[in-house]
């Protein structure tokens, strides 16, 4: 087993190639959280017919794209802003609002803190309790909210815990934060994978709360991380205006804009993805739940967080066992407040999920003999 000084982001297949000598094309990434169906078939069939789109500059307003997003999300077109992946929008929003004091849940996705510190702000953490399955204790959270806070960032469903807040809970948070003039940035990168998006998405709240900005992307659900297409929804007109004036024009290329218009309308693919993820998530959850070597947390996104319960078992060991089978999971030791007793993996095809299951169960069994 190699020394695990290195940890891999879900997309670091090149590093794996160097270290383990496995060709990246042969690796199934259970750590990138990407829809196993690949891109929308409608997109695949039709995008090449739109090649000529690159001969002109994109529409500065991205009007047709924003219309497609409005139809897909139910948001008002004038509340939608598009960006080069949700990453560009996270960074633009944080640069523009320049929060001095920001609050994140722990554990969560690391990019927010990086961006906040680049802009000179300080990040505080509210710990999600393991004993409570990393679900937020809403009453305690609201009672202890700091009135000096400039920004609260909520990843919903949360990466890596797969826990989620309903929009009823979000409404309480938004109301409390509005009193304190605190912005709430909700990253909904994984929300389309939830069992019932109408219970979890905060987009409908954008009309009511001008301290809310919701972010989404196409990297995970639409399996298009290379396209770099994301969008934000906010009902705050002056914030929209400010982002729009400070943002570079044309950060989404013409083909990505057309791709968005096509894929947001591929209802068959969207429904197929939702129902597959939902049934496979339940199947994987039930299997891990029945094995005493593991504790699996209730999952709302397309990935599961699992705790390793046996003393002899750790994430380095399981990562190694899986990568030797060309299956790449996420060692969660680098997430603040987690350690190498936690792994995360996403839902891939049924066959690959079975392979991972048998590999991890076998490794757990053989190390405790
Ligand atoms: C929670 C979360 N937000 C944002 C991103 C980045 O998304 P995008 O590719 O849309 O920039 C990721 C990628 O892993 C993520 O997990």
Q: State the Cα–Cα distance between residues 320 and 113, nearest whole angstrom.
A: 29
**347-to-7, 198, 294, 304, 309 alpha-carbon distances in Å:** 21, 22, 17, 8, 22
Average pLDDT over all residues of the chain: 95
Q: Whose CA is nearest to atom 12 of ligand 1?
A: 189
Give how many domains the chain has, as a whole number: 2
Q: How confident is the model at residue 8 (pLDDT cuts 50, 70, 90)?
A: low
Provide the domain limits for residue 123: 43-265
pLDDT, average across residues 302-318: 97
Q: Are residues 184 and 101 in the same domain?
A: yes
- The reported pLDDT for the residue numbered 187 is 98
pLDDT, average across residues 120-136: 97
CA of 335 to the centre of ligand 1 (A): 15
pLDDT, average across residues 113-142: 97
Nearest one of 337, 355, 350, 359 to 160, comparing CA atoms: 337
Q: Is the whole-model pTM more than 0.85?
A: yes
Q: How confident is the model at residue 13 (pLDDT cuts 50, 70, 90)?
A: confident
Q: Are residues 26 and 150 in the same domain?
A: no
Q: Are residues 203 and 327 in the same domain?
A: no
CA of 232 to the centre of ligand 1 (A): 13
Residue 260 lies in a domain: yes
- The reported pLDDT for the residue numbered 3 is 41
Q: Are residues 136 and 212 in the same domain?
A: yes
- The reported pLDDT for the residue numbered 351 is 98
Lowest average pLDDT, out of 32-36, 207-211, 317-321, 365-369, goes to 365-369
- The reported pLDDT for the residue numbered 305 is 98
Question: Best mutation site among 32, 82, 84, 86 for ligand 1, i.e. most ligand atoms within 8 A of its Cβ?
Answer: 86
Q: Are residues 272 and 257 in the same domain?
A: no
- In the chain, the DSSP E strands lie at 28-29, 80-83, 101-106, 122-127, 151-155, 183-187, 212-217, 230-233, 294-296, 303-308, 327-328, 330-331, 342-346
Q: Are residues 283 and 309 in the same domain?
A: yes
Contact 173, 120 (CB under 8 A): no
Residue 36 lies in a domain: no
Question: Best mutation site among 35, 112, 217, 260 for ligand 1, i.e. most ligand atoms within 8 A of its Cβ?
Answer: 217
């Amino acid at each position: 087993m190699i020394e695990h000084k290195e940890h891999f982001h879900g997309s670091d297949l090149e590093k794996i190639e160097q270290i383990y000598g496995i060709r990246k094309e042969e690796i199934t990434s259970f750590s990138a959280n990407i829809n196993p169906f690949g891109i929308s078939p409608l997109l695949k069939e039709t995008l090449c017919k739109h090649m000529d789109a690159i001969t002109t500059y994109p529409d500065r307003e991205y009007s047709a794209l924003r219309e497609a997003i409005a139809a897909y999300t139910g948001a008002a077109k004038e509340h939608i802003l598009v960006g080069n992946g949700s990453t560009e929008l996270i960074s633009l929003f944080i640069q523009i609002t320049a929060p001095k004091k920001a609050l994140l849940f722990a554990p969560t996705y690391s990019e927010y803190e990086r961006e906040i510190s680049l802009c000179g702000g300080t990040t505080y953490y509210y710990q999600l309790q393991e004993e409570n399955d990393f679900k937020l204790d809403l009453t305690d959270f609201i009672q202890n909210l700091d009135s000096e806070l400039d920004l609260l960032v909520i990843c919903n469903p949360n990466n890596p815990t797969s826990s989620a807040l309903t929009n009823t809970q979000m409404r309480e948070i938004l109301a409390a934060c509005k009193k304190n003039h605190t912005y709430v940035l909700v990253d909904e990168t994984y929300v389309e994978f939830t069992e019932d998006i109408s219970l979890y998405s905060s987009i409908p709240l954008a009309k009511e709360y001008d301290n809310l900005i919701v972010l989404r992307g196409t990297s995970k659900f639409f399996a298009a991380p290379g396209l770099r297409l994301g969008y934000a929804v906010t009902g705050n007109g002056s914030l929209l205006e400010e982002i729009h004036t400070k943002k570079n024009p044309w950060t989404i290329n013409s083909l990505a804009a057309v791709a968005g218009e096509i894929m947001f309308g591929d209802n068959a693919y969207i429904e197929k993805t939702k129902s597959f993820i939902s049934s496979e998530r339940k199947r994987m959850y039930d299997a891990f739940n029945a094995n005493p070597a593991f504790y699996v947390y209730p999952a709302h996104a397309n990935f599961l967080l699992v705790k390793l319960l046996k003393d002899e078992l750790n994430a380095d060991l399981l990562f190694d066992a899986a990568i030797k089978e060309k299956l790449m999971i996420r060692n969660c030791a680098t997430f603040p407040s987690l350690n190498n007793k936690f792994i995360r993996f996403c839902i891939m095809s049924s066959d690959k999920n079975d392979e991972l299951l048998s590999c991890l169960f076998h490794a757990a069994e053989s190390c405790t003999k």
